[in-house]
Amino acid sequence: MAEMKVKLCGIELDNPIIPASGTFGYGYEFSEIYDINILGTFSFKGTTRDARFGNPTPRIAECTAGMINAVGLQNPGVERVISEEIPKMKKCFHKKVMANVSGFSVEDYAYTCQRLDGCDEIGWFEVNVSCPNVHGGGMSFGTSPEAAAEVTRAVKAVTTKPVFIKLSPNVTDIVAIAKACEEAGADGISLINTMLGMRIDLKTRKPVIANKMGGFSGSAIFPVAVRMVYQVAQAVNIPVIGMGGVSTAEDVIEMMLAGATAVEVGAANLIDPYACKNIIEQLPSVMKKYGIEKLSDIIGGVR
């Protein structure tokens, strides 16, 4: 029988499948169409210190083999997440959840993580220093090893749970940034976030989205994600969560061979809300096809 369990910083997951932040809300919407407890876990919507409406519309554009979004971290703010969203989530999801956190200053990150640290439902933090859709924060922290390390140290000083730092592919040397986060105390690395993209309307000759540029995601970025996961996994001694264009069980196997302990599924959830369910159901047959008995045995197994 196929063994799909993996361990993420000491916490066992039934399988490595994690819906990515921003594509799964706080889970309860998806629980209306299937039992989300079949998931390994999920990363809930990016949460900031204060409530955010996000960027002006239009803020989503389709493109070949992917999409561009510039939602801009729309969320109700950490206090309402604690008082309203997590209690609703708890009713339908009975495992530890991953809290995705973003900010516009080091103090923002630390405050939000400290407030969420007291929530028993949270198993890990995923600290987003890589969002390309906001001005004055997010990705600006993830493009410098020193800045990413500063955020890591600040968050680790106020939390008791494992901290994964989510990195941007929009950099020259992602390995240097990952290593700086590890040295600053990160328990793991998540990568990759979206790439920076743009579309232009030929009739109006204006950018399709109001923000002009946004995060490019979808199957088109998968080879870039696999390459970066491989590079980082080879360079650090902490677990890596791989993501970027994952849409099939075969993609999950490839990510894990590259070095990922767990795998997030993002844009595919917006195309098909059953994407993660389908991948989990298909994994045993794909494992059998490639002679894999335990998924944990193939992590970093590329030859």
Catalytic residues: 131
176: buried, middle or exposed (CB in 10 Å: 19+, 13-18, 0-12)? middle
Query: Which of 64, 44, 5 minimizes the C-alpha distance to 122?
Result: 44
Query: Which of 195, 272, 177, 186 minimizes the C-alpha distance to 232?
Result: 177
State both tokens at 273. Answer: 């809300």
Distance CA 237, CA 185 (A): 11
State both tokens at 244. Answer: 């970027």
Beta carbons of 24 and 42 less than 8 angstroms apart = yes
Distance CA 217, CA 118 (A): 32
Query: Which of 156, 158, 175 minimizes the C-alpha distance to 167?
Result: 175
The beta-strand segments (E) located in 131-210 are 163-166, 188-191, 195-197, 200-201, 206-207
